[in-house]
């Protein structure tokens, strides 16, 4: 693994750890109550009155809001990716194990769902149900099912051709057993990398949905909604848009770098091919 790739892995892991720690700490401590409104402390600058990043138009502490916002980002990422993994891996596995018309049907339907971007799926679900973090998570999760199914199928197909799988078949093992016991552990590295990248995409999608007002709803703090609020004050206090955007950017960058680094660490052959 080259020094550059190792650097990516370390920086990515540090950024992800930082966000996770921030989220954990925010459960027990924030500099101020993130929901506390103060008419005398509206739009304070950086460092004024102990507000490290300043305050917003309601006098709420920006750092506290960003700290609690990390909970929302990670929570949505975790559950949305959980949904796509829980549905996508079995679908991809069935397609690879059964082949024929089952594979065709799974892949064609995956292609159709792939044509629904997360934002569009969320708009449809919100129109049908109601806006909120649950709707956002479900929409993002469903939108990424085809990606997980496709990656699982692609990786599993090559493993199903290997000798040890043929040996398991001669022992009379069923396809489900072979997939869970022999194929899944062999494609785990590919899936771990994919999950890391999807996590980044889910955080971006949640931020976009909250920005549109169809994701996290008040009083739950969200980086996307903070940016939505900042839009109104872009002329008066452009810095309001800076901090939540940086929080999203650094978190996504962290997951992307971690994904890249893990890809090389878990499968060094890729780096040889890439170079």
- Contact footprint for another protein (CB under 8 A): 4, 108-109, 111-120, 123-129, 131, 200, 204, 207-208, 211-214, 224, 227, 230-231, 234-235, 238, 241, 244-245, 248-250, 252-253, 256-257, 274-275
| CB of residue 190 to another protein, shortest distance in Å | 18
| CB of residue 167 to another protein, shortest distance in Å | 31
| CB of residue 243 to another protein, shortest distance in Å | 11
Q: How far apart, in whole angstroms, are the C-alpha atoms of residue 247 and residue 124?
A: 28
Q: Determine contact, residues 192/81, Cβ cutoff 8 Å.
A: no
Judged by beta carbon, residue 23 or residue 257, the one nearer another protein is 257
Which residue bears the tokens 């190792």?
6
Give the side-chain half-sphere CA count within 13 A for 87. 17
Judged by beta carbon, residue 14 or residue 234, the one nearer another protein is 234
Q: Other C-beta atoms within 10 Å of 181: how many?
A: 11
| CB of residue 31 to another protein, shortest distance in Å | 24
The CA-CA-CA angle for residues 210, 248, 80, to 5°, reads 60
| CB of residue 3 to another protein, shortest distance in Å | 12
CA distances from 179 to 96, 105, 110, 146, 222 (A): 9, 19, 20, 19, 39
| CB of residue 205 to another protein, shortest distance in Å | 9
Judged by beta carbon, residue 130 or residue 158, the one nearer another protein is 130
Judged by beta carbon, residue 26 or residue 135, the one nearer another protein is 135
Judged by beta carbon, residue 52 or residue 241, the one nearer another protein is 241
| CB of residue 180 to another protein, shortest distance in Å | 29
Q: Helix (H, G, I), strand (E, B), or coil: what is residue 55?
A: strand
Judged by beta carbon, residue 148 or residue 165, the one nearer another protein is 148
The closest alpha carbon to 13, from 253, 269, 179, 233, belongs to 253
Judged by beta carbon, residue 37 or residue 105, the one nearer another protein is 105
Peptide bond into 167 cis (omega under 30): no
> For 58-132, where are the alpha helices, taking DSSP H only?
62-98, 100-114, 118-128
């Amino acid at each position: 693994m080259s020094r550059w790739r190792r650097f990516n892995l370390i920086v990515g892991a540090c950024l992800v750890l930082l966000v996770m720690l921030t989220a954990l700490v925010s459960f027990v401590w924030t500099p101020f109550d993130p929901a506390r409104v103060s008419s005398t402390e509206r739009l304070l600058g950086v460092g004024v009155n102990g507000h490290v990043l300043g305050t917003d138009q309601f006098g709420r502490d920006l750092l506290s809001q960003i700290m609690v916002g990390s909970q929302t980002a990670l929570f949505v990422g975790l559950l949305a990716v959980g949904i796509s993994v829980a549905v996508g891996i079995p679908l991809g596995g069935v397609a690879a194990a059964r082949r024929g018309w089952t594979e065709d049907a799974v892949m064609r339907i995956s292609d159709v769902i792939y044509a629904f971007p997360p934002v569009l799926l969320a708009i449809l679900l919100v129109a049908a149900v109601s806006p909120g973090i649950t709707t956002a998570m479900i929409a993002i999760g469903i939108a990424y099912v085809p990606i997980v199914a496709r990656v699982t199928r692609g990786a599993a197909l090559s493993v199903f051709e290997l000798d040890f799988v043929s040996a398991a078949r001669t022992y009379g093992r069923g396809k489900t057993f072979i997939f869970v016991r022999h194929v899944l552990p062999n494609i785990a590295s590919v899936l771990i990398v994919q999950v890391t990248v999807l996590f980044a995409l889910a955080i971006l999608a949640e931020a976009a949905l909250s920005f549109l007002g169809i994701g996290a709803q008040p009083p739950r703090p969200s980086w996307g909604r903070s940016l939505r609020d900042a839009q109104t004050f872009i002329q008066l206090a452009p810095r309001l848009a800076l901090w939540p955007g940086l929080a999203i950017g650094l978190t996504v960058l962290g997951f992307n770098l971690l994904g890249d680094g893990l890809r090389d660490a878990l499968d060094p052959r890729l780096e040889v091919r890439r170079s």
